[in-house]
């Protein structure tokens, strides 16, 4: 009889525990649904919810998440940084209370969101390639830099004053992502990157052969160039000597009108340059040029290609994922226009 009572009591406790867990699940689920129904992370209620529930901000490939709290914390740190700077000497000020100030802050929030996504993709890819950054790796990296930046106490003081960060915050938000980025750069500069650079060099030599055969420069540029002006036949416009990349200026200005350079190599890639016209603007000599360009494998180019392999969903109001440019953009056309006009500057 006693044993039977104990079994019943045990079942009753188990039921209460299960019911309590289910009730909590429903409660938090309803809060989350309410949050996404209004889809506005900018109000006080949403910020409180995000403080104790890890609401997803971004979903990548169905199984990788970034939390809303991460974005809110990073934005808070950015505001702290700008508000603790003295810009009086430059005649600029920071005022987030004005309409323009709020819009500028939204631009910075979008920049943070893009960086969080690219950092996550970099981390995912590094781990896929067997590169895992441990806390010990992070500690060692910071230790090597401590004396260089004035000692640990000074670093902690500056982090707290400027960003409201602890040293652990700095390790998590800055150091660890940068170490994963370093690992990806090692992959890019390995045989994979070298093979890609050789492929691009061969393509521009193919374009050079077409030009030597008498084909029109604009036609060849449209077919071979991967520069932004390819659709305009490689037309770049007018340049002074100091506006051209180091290593390209001397050759470009030595060309005769209508002459095409040999294949030129820069840190960005491989170039064929045609000098179309030359003139003097006061004491300054200007040239109008066209270009056929094939890029080397860089981190930015790798990121552009890597992002195409992933599915990204933005879970908060005001932002959309643009799969054509592989980046976050504003849902509002007014904010997109404001961003173009202001160039993303936060200071006013």
- DSSP-derived letter for residue 260 is B
pLDDT at 101: 87
Q: How far is CA 304 from CA 55, 91, 344, in A?
A: 27, 37, 20
Structure tokens at 190: 């390995």
- DSSP-derived letter for residue 88 is G
Judge whether 290 and 274 are in contact, CB under 8 Å: yes
Q: What average pLDDT does the chain have?
A: 83
Judge whether 59 and 65 are in contact, CB under 8 Å: yes
What is this structure's pTM?
Answer: 0.70
Best CA proximity match to 219, nearest among 234, 209, 205, 229: 234
Read off the pLDDT of residues 161-201 as tens digits, 9 standing for 90 and up. Answer: 989 999 999 999 999 999 999 999 888 888 778 888 999 99
Read off the pLDDT of residues 198-207 as tens digits, 9 standing for 90 and up. Answer: 999 999 999 9
- E strand or H helix at 64, and its extent? strand 64-67
Q: How confident is the model at residue 312 (pLDDT cuts 50, 70, 90)?
A: very high
- DSSP-derived letter for residue 256 is P
Domain boundaries, the chain: 219-301
- Look at the block and give the residue holding tokens 């045990």: 10
Residue 273 clears pLDDT 50, i.e. is over it? yes
Q: Is residue 245 classed as helix, strand or coil in its secondary structure?
A: coil
């Amino acid at each position: 009889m006693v044993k039977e009572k104990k079994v019943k009591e045990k079942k009753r406790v188990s039921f209460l525990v299960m019911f309590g867990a289910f009730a909590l699940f429903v409660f938090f689920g309803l809060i989350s649904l309410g949050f996404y129904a209004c889809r506005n992370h900018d109000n006080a209620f949403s910020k409180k919810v995000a403080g104790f529930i890890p609401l997803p901000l971004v979903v990548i490939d169905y199984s990788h998440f970034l939390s809303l709290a991460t974005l809110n914390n990073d934005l808070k740190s950015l505001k702290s940084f700008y508000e603790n700077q003295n810009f009086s000497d430059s005649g600029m000020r920071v005022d987030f209370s004005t309409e323009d100030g709020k819009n500028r802050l939204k631009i910075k929030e979008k920049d943070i969101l893009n960086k969080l996504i690219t950092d996550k993709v970099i981390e995912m890819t590094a781990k896929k390639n067997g590169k895992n950054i441990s806390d010990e790796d992070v500690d060692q990296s910071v230790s090597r830099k401590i004396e260089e930046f004035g000692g640990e106490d000074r670093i902690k003081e500056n982090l707290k004053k400027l960003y409201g960060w602890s040293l652990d915050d700095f390790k998590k938000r800055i150091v660890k992502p940068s170490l994963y980025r370093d690992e990806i750069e090692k992959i890019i500069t390995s045989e994979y990157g070298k093979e890609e650079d050789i492929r691009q060099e061969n393509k521009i030599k193919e374009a050079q052969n077409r030009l030597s055969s008498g084909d029109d420069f604009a036609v060849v540029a449209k077919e071979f160039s991967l520069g932004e002006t390819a659709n305009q036949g490689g037309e770049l416009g007018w340049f002074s000597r100091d506006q051209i990349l180091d290593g390209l200026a001397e050759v470009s200005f030595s060309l005769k009108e209508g002459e095409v350079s040999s294949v030129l190599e820069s840190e960005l890639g491989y170039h064929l340059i045609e000098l179309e016209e030359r003139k003097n603007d006061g004491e300054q000599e200007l040239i109008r040029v066209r270009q056929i360009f094939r890029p080397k494998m860089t981190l930015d180019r790798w990121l552009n290609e890597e992002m195409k392999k992933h599915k990204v969903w933005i879970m908060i109001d005001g932002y959309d994922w643009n799969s054509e440019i592989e980046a976050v953009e504003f849902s509002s056309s007014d904010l997109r226009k404001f961003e173009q006009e202001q160039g993303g500057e936060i200071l006013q």
